[in-house]
Amino acid sequence: MREQFEQLKMHLWMVLHHRWTALGAVVLVCALGWAGLEAVDDRYQVEAKVYLDTKAALQPLFQGPNGAQTWSPQQSALLIKRTLLTRENIERVINETALKMKVKTPEGLDKMVMSLAERIRVKRLMPAVDEEANSRNDTPADIYSISFESTDRELALNVVKSVLDLFVERFSYLTKTSTKEAAEFLDREIAAYARNLGEAEERLKQFKLDNPGVLLGANGQTYSQRVEALQSELEAAKVSLREAEFRATALRVQIQNMAASRVPVSVGGGVPGQTALDQQIATAESRLSELLLNYTEQHPDVIGLRRQLAEMKEQKAKGLDVPAGGAPVVYAPATDTSGARLLLTEAEARAAAMKEQIALKEKQLLDLKPLAETVPKVEAELARLNRDYEVIKATYAELVHRRETISLSAGAQSAGGDSMFKVIEAPRLPLVPVGPQRELLTTAVFLAALALGTGLGWMRSQSRPTFYTRNQLATISGVPVLGAITMNWSVMEVARRQFGMLIFGMVVLALLAAYVGMLMHNGYDIKPLIKTIVEPFRMIQA
Amino acid sequence: MSIIEKALERLEQSDIRTISESRGPVVAPSTFPREATGEGLIGAAWEAGESLAPTVAAPLRTSQMVALDLKALEKQGYLTPETMHLPRADEYRRIKRPLLLNAFSDAAKKVKNANLVAVTSSVAGEGKSYTSLNLAMSIATELDRTVLLVDTDVFKQSLTKTLKLSEHPGLTDFLRTEGADLADYLLRTNVPNLAFIPAGRLDYQIAELWGSGKMQQFMDELARRYPDRLVIFDTPPVLAHASTLVLTGLVGQVLMVVEAEKTDQHLVTESLRVLGDNVRVGLILNKSNQRESADYGYGYYSQ
């Protein structure tokens, strides 16, 4: 701590050593800064306030596809400014004001337009402080401020007036006719689209009529789907036909067999020579024919059955046969063949039906074949017609929706009367300048000068560092210091020194006085300050 | 044979002849007068010690006695025996202590020419002559020390001028004159225990003069013969004159005066570098504006 204090003291002493440099710098900077501040003209600001229903003003112009609001509350001021301050409009402002005198060349005009576009400010004001607004997330109110700053207050007034004129002109135009125009436009569009929609519908209908069954099956199948379906149906019908035919064949054989076996029974003696072997042979033969329906001659069952049959025939030929029922063997109850006959009739009927169906399907397939070329074209045409129709329908719906929105806002307009746009505060000639901040800048210059002077003094002491304390000398040189001898001022020197101090003090006082003077000159009221300083002393006295 | 030995020889011879004037022919020559000895004896002793007569036939001579204008010095801010009560005198006392300790302690005997002190500085105007004279005055008030102040700044000769002794021949003259008698150049003053040798004629080959054998001999004898006497040399600035380095090489201690708040730090370090490591240097911060009390307890010079 002591070390730091010593250091601080030393640095302070170093600066004091160059006090004249420091003071000179301070005086110079103060003089220049304050003179510069004097040279700067006062700036005046003129402001006008208007009420404008943002939504009504902007919605017809900048509406999104779904009728959504596409600008944020913060952007609305910018949008309005852009709409308002077009180049022609700014040129009009220039021509209406004294700025016209300043413009001499086209380049000058360009520059002037650019600078005005920057300097004319359109701002959306925050609502007055109230709880409700705060709770509503601080959405700006529909109040816009138009302001302009200039050293020439007449000019500022005229510029704002001119811009306000533009505002009134522009937005009264917008509020009165733009919705109407938009509505008329939309009406025309809607009518056109309604016509288009009708035509599209008609075209689609006609096309469907022109291309009947060919185009679409009952289930809306396409051509290839239909061909495929027909083919598979044809196949199925063929299979069914074969089934029915085989069934009929089998039934016929059965009926025959039944009839054969019945003869001896029904007659009583039976057919002579009909033995058990004969029966077996008959059964085997019928089985064989059955097998042959499904299998080729090479099938093992077929081969086996044939061999069996051959053996049985051989046995019969050898006379090994035994009469079919030495006693009651063949005496089977008579079998009624009427059921089998009924089945046979059914099978035959089915086969006939299938034949007919096959013929039909084949004819249908034959009919479809020549269309193979034209159908895809027709289908593509249909898809296009459908698409067109859908698009037209969607657009039409959208237009109708917009038209409704506009009707609504127009309704609001007529209901609210002139509340959509209103000049709240007309521009006035300002009496008090808004800038520069003279009091603040005076102090800033003073502080900067102090800092600069101190810095300069310190820098000078650092640029040619010398020794201030014995300790410093010992530390830096690394050589023992025997002692320090204080300056032995002669009377003359002391007098000169004191004189110097006196002058220094006087200059410092003068500087402070100048600072206070400048503050007061720049409108600072010093009385309250003096009062606050003096008051405690009075209290003590009292 | 040294100058002094020669002188001794002659003295012995002269003693025979002037036996009535001389009291102690054997003891006197090797010692400077001490406070203890009586006033009458001092004269004889000084006389005896410094009558380095070149010829046997020459009449016995004593060093010249000069009266310094102490009042005028006081007015200029110098210390005199009458102003030793001032706080300023105390600052010199503090410096004087380590200086004497370095010169006369037992440890100092190992150091060559420990009692010869050169006062110098980096640049002109830092207060070498002021410090030299004040230190000399301070040491002269010691009870058992004598001081010889030598102005070796032949260029400015500020010490000689301050003491108003410019018309007297000085060290350069002594060195240039063949067979010169130191007694003719040494000046006794009205301050007891303080003697002075002026600078002498300006000589541009001063470095060579300081480097001469005679100078070497002179310095050696000053150191050897009078070990209780402190010799202070006021020299030119280190960075201004190369001759200074020759002188600092001949002495046992160097005091470098640094002017506070004015001398550049790098000049001081440069001077120290130029002086080299073989020289025992002590610094004095002169013209300080800081209170000495803040420096209590810092780096005492003790070796």
Cβ B229 vs Cβ B146: under 8 Å: yes
pLDDT band, residue B230 (cuts 50/70/90): very high
Residue B214 shares a structural domain with residue B281: yes
pLDDT band, residue B35 (cuts 50/70/90): very low
Cβ A266 vs Cβ A334: under 8 Å: yes
Please determine, for residue A294, whether its predicted confidence score (pLDDT) is greater than 70. Answer: yes
- Residues of A within 8 A of B294 (CB-CB) are 6, 469, 471
Residue B28 shares a structural domain with residue B136: no
pLDDT band, residue A507 (cuts 50/70/90): very high
Give the C-alpha separation, A11 to A376, whole Å: 100
The CA distance from B190 to the nearest CA of chain A, in Å, is: 25
Closest CA to B119 of B273, B227, B225, B275: B275
B123 Cβ contact list (under 8 Å, min separation 6):
B237, B239, B240, B263, B267
Q: Which of A149-163, A417-431, B93-107, B108-122 has the lowest mean pLDDT?
A: A417-431
Q: Note the pLDDT tens digit of each residue in B53-82.
A: 333 333 446 788 999 999 999 988 899 999
The position carrying tokens 């005679």 is: B214
Give the C-alpha separation, A485 to A13, whole Å: 17
CATH classification of the domain holding B123: 3.40.50.300
HSE-CB of A228 using CA atoms within 13 angstroms: 5
More confident residue, A219 or B292: A219
Question: Please, what is the average pLDDT of chain B?
Answer: 79
Contact B268 A476 (CB under 8 A): yes
DSSP letter at B20 equals T
Share of chain A above pLDDT 90, in %: 13
DSSP letter at B81 equals G
Share of chain B above pLDDT 70, in %: 75
Strand B281-288 with B253-259, pairing: parallel
Give the C-alpha separation, A289 to A383, whole Å: 57
Q: Which of B14-18, B43-47, B226-230 has the lowest mean pLDDT?
A: B43-47
DSSP letter at B24 equals -
Burial of B273 (0-12, 13-18, 19+ CB in 10 A): exposed
User: Residue A540's CB: how many other CB atoms inside 10 A?
Assistant: 7
Contact A482 B261 (CB under 8 A): no
Q: Note the pLDDT tens digit of each residue in A245-292.
A: 888 888 888 888 877 765 444 344 445 555 677 788 888 888 888 888
> Is B158 inside any structural domain?
yes
Residue B115 shares a structural domain with residue B246: yes
> Is B300 inside any structural domain?
no
What tokens appear for A209 in the block?
Answer: 């009529």
More confident residue, B25 or B270: B270
Residue B110 shares a structural domain with residue B41: no
* Domain count for chain B: 2
The nearest alpha carbon in chain B to A478 belongs to B269
Cβ B295 vs Cβ A469: under 8 Å: yes
Indicate the residue type of B27: V
pLDDT score, position A184:
77
Residue B96 shares a structural domain with residue B35: no
> Is B59 inside any structural domain?
no
* Domain count for chain A: 3
Q: Which domain holds residue A420?
A: 44-192+400-425
CATH classification of the domain holding A88: 3.30.1890
A491 and chain B in contact, CB less than 8 A? no
Please determine, for residue B93, whether its predicted confidence score (pLDDT) is greater than 90. Answer: yes
Residue A262 shares a structural domain with residue A311: yes
> Is B204 inside any structural domain?
yes
Residue B120 shares a structural domain with residue B254: yes
Cβ A207 vs Cβ A383: under 8 Å: no
Give the C-alpha separation, B269 to B260, whole Å: 14
Query: CA Rg, chain A, in Å?
Result: 59
Contact A479 B282 (CB under 8 A): yes
Phi-psi region of B127 (alpha: psi -120 to 50; beta: other; left: phi over 0): left
Please determine, for residue B103, whether its predicted confidence score (pLDDT) is greater than 50. Answer: yes
- Residues of A within 8 A of B292 (CB-CB) are 470, 483-484, 486
Residue A404 shares a structural domain with residue A342: no
Residue A118 shares a structural domain with residue A132: yes
Helix, strand, or coil here: B69?
A: coil
Please determine, for residue B28, whether its predicted confidence score (pLDDT) is greater than 60. Answer: no
> Is A415 inside any structural domain?
yes
Strand B146-151 with A481-486, pairing: unpaired
Q: Positive or negative CA dihedral for A157, A158, A159, A163?
A: positive
Strongest mean pLDDT among A131-135, A303-307, A517-521, B224-228: A517-521
State how far the alpha carbon of B198 is from the alpha carbons of A281, B186, B193, B202, in Å. 176, 8, 16, 11
Q: Which domain holds residue B17?
A: 3-50
Residue B201 shares a structural domain with residue B170: yes
B261 and chain A in contact, CB less than 8 A? yes
Indicate the residue type of B12: E
Residue A239 shares a structural domain with residue A118: no
| SS3 sequence of A358-409 | HHHHHHHHHHHHHHHCHHHHHHHHHHHHHHHHHHHHHHHHHHHHHHHHHHHH
Interface subset of B 161-190, CB within 8 angstroms of A = none
Contact B284 A487 (CB under 8 A): no
| Stated length of chain B | 303
Residue B103 shares a structural domain with residue B220: yes
Residue A9 shares a structural domain with residue A59: no
pLDDT band, residue B285 (cuts 50/70/90): very high
Q: Is the peptide bond before A73 cis (omega within 30 degrees of 0)?
A: no
If you average pLDDT over residues B166-186, what whole number do you get? 90
Residue A348 shares a structural domain with residue A477: no
Residue B92 shares a structural domain with residue B9: no
Q: Which of A27-36, A417-426, A447-456 has the lowest mean pLDDT?
A: A417-426
Residue B159 shares a structural domain with residue B256: yes
Q: How far apart are the first and last CA of chain A?
A: 43
State how far the alpha carbon of B175 is from the alpha carbons of B57, B171, B208, B217, in Å. 22, 6, 11, 11
A538 and chain B in contact, CB less than 8 A? no
> Is B178 inside any structural domain?
yes
pLDDT band, residue A217 (cuts 50/70/90): low
Burial of A104 (0-12, 13-18, 19+ CB in 10 A): exposed
Residue B79 shares a structural domain with residue B45: no
User: Residue B42's CB: how many other CB atoms inside 10 A?
Assistant: 17
